[in-house]
Structure 1
């Protein structure tokens, strides 16, 4: 998948979004038919049954299967982090990328226990984007190229992709994206992120207000993304689009990854149908965003780490749903009497 060199960069992205396929209805019906014959009361496994249907509908595989799941972490740096909006310094970006590589982060343990692959994509953590309070984060060409880079994360036969991110200051950037897309007040979208105190929260609110004021009423989702977003959000938005085109189901993690999903949603409200939302972040605005997107998260564990941590946990549930549907015997296979 590549973007053309003739049209404006965002035109290519818009055309890809317009060409998104729908669910595989035949695969969906096959799963429903088999589910009705499995050795259990109909509906007794609740949302696990729905997940099996979702997996088949968006992968086209019956029975549904998960053979090569992967967490993709996109790491970036943000100039706005220098304005006191985070409890941690920007130096943590590079240090955490090294920690991922050494296997010492939370996500490494979650991937290991759930047998999930992990790739970390360093989006120039040594080169922060300009502060969104004063300048656009990216120009159109760079934003589109970053989205295209995210699309390439599916190489290698991945059949379930989990979104993850890391970037000091990126909850501020995500809040600016939500504010730009959905309106309201800056205070509606900000939270304490990595644990800022009250003064830090006030600086965060002011930063989001300044960034969105620069939009001057802009409503185009891609323009909002490039002006007040970040490289990791752009890359994840590209990955969501590519996954739909390649029939790879997506698990969205938390607050920041949902900002990428929100950009796709604003372009096409059905553009997230192939996405499962893992959890409700402890960032208070995340629940509001999910409601706006019409999505119900799988769980609420009070998490706010990022790194794809919630998505990796959810992938374990998806794998369980797949194995449940594929491996369970039917009434006829097991010689068990069906419903009278």
Structure 2
């Protein structure tokens, strides 16, 4: 399998794309997408098999400060909605043939593990570390040991999942706060530029949220390195996703990144292992205030810009058909020579 950094193989893929029956670059960013997938999978005839949509869920201690427009109970209620098939991501997973796996990383309600659910049905894995993180305004949200266990859980989950594509999703009331904190700390950006309305706060609510998050930053001044910042300011679901991303990248799976919160997990992972970004496809630019800045930090150009801010992996699922089309075009579209079509002369 050719390495993604192999310049000869990359040039071969680009030549194949340039010689398809079309003007050079006429398929726009779909060509760049096809190139990326071919690089990740190490083939000029990529096929995405048994795609896995991984939704990690947890509660956050910061939610007690009113940083979300919704109460904490919604995290557990949405986990049940995912499994019942009524959530947006559940509908999209069914539509596109994505295997939906929900992970209880730290929800403030107990669930029964349903890892043995029938093939194709949504399933729940219980990897609970606690009933939500601690209040980051009073110190680290999780211990170093808890953070390490969450990373290990994410790695182990991916090892058990089949296929060569992993779509990322999340659920957790208060987790846009965790993502904003991680962006501000790791990118050294002003907190106000990283913080938005989340689930729909009004202007006063956003100001209250920013004040709470500033207290969290002030309470954790020592957390500058990626793992230290993750433990102090992140969430159990974000840390589990970091482990999942690191493992998926090591296995050369195509990683489809959803929005702001899954982007925060990839940001942390990329500060640990920069090559992670070579395995990623960024699904969309969300309506969350700091997402543009986060994407810029990773030099990422998302596929879609639809004003989405739902999370759950919904944007990743919506972008999925574009990946399938890019693969089909690289595999099946004829060259000028094969089709007997004259090439451009000037």
Verify: 1:146 aligned to 2:150, yes or no: yes
Cα shift at 1:67 = 1.8
- Aligned match of 1:94 in 34, 57, 76? 76
SS in 2 for 1:294: coil
Q: Distance in 2 between matches of 1:120 and 1:167?
A: 12
- Which residue of 2 is the match for residue 50 of structure 1? 32
Verify: 1:136 aligned to 2:140, yes or no: yes
1:27–1:56 CA contact under 8 A, matched in 2: no
Cα shift at 1:231 = 0.8
SS in 1 for 2:14: helix
1:174–1:255 CA contact under 8 A, matched in 2: yes
List per-residue Cα deviations over 1:139-181 (Å, max 9, x = no partner): 1121111111112332332211111100001011111111221
Q: Distance in 2 between matches of 1:251 and 1:29?
A: 24
2:132–2:236 CA contact under 8 A, matched in 1: no
Q: Distance in 2 between matches of 1:97 and 1:220?
A: 31
2:183–2:189 CA contact under 8 A, matched in 1: no
Go from structure 1 to structure 2 and tell me whether the alpha carbon gap of 1:26 and 1:299 turns closer, same or farther (over 3 Å shift): same
- Which residue of 1 is the match for residue 120 of structure 2? none
Q: Distance in 1 between matches of 2:85 and 2:324?
A: 23
Equivalences for 1:117-266 in 2 at 5 Å?
117-126=99-108, 127-154=131-158, 155-266=160-271
- Which residue of 2 is the match for residue 333 of structure 1? 338
Q: Distance in 2 between matches of 1:120 and 1:316?
A: 22
Verify: 1:59 aligned to 2:59, yes or no: no
Verify: 1:284 aligned to 2:266, yes or no: no
2:285–2:305 CA contact under 8 A, matched in 1: yes
Cα shift at 1:25 = 4.7
Cα shift at 1:104 = 0.5
SS in 2 for 1:73: strand
Q: Distance in 1 between matches of 2:5 and 2:80?
A: 39
SS in 1 for 2:56: strand
Cα shift at 1:24 = 5.1
Cα shift at 1:277 = 1.2
1:100–1:108 CA contact under 8 A, matched in 2: yes
SS in 2 for 1:232: helix
Equivalences for 1:75-90 in 2 at 5 Å?
75-90=57-72
Go from structure 1 to structure 2 and tell me whether the alpha carbon gap of 1:310 and 1:241 turns closer, same or farther (over 3 Å shift): same
Cα shift at 1:33 = 3.2
Cα shift at 1:105 = 0.6
Cα shift at 1:245 = 0.8
| TM-score normalised by L of structure 1 | 0.89
Q: Distance in 2 between matches of 1:225 and 1:329?
A: 47
Number of matched residues? Answer: 320
Gaps of 5+ in 2: 109-130
Segment drifting more, 236-245 vs 211-220: 211-220
Verify: 1:69 aligned to 2:51, yes or no: yes
**RMSD in angstroms over aligned alpha carbons?**
1.8
- Which residue of 1 is the match for residue 86 of structure 2? 104
1:27–1:62 CA contact under 8 A, matched in 2: no
Verify: 1:39 aligned to 2:44, yes or no: no
Go from structure 1 to structure 2 and tell me whether the alpha carbon gap of 1:137 and 1:331 turns closer, same or farther (over 3 Å shift): same
1:75–1:166 CA contact under 8 A, matched in 2: yes
List per-residue Cα deviations over 1:286-332 (Å, max 9, x = no partner): 11121122111112100100001111112211111001111212233
Segment drifting more, 251-260 vs 114-123: 114-123
Q: Distance in 2 between matches of 1:111 and 1:25?
A: 35
Go from structure 1 to structure 2 and tell me whether the alpha carbon gap of 1:121 and 1:23 turns closer, same or farther (over 3 Å shift): farther
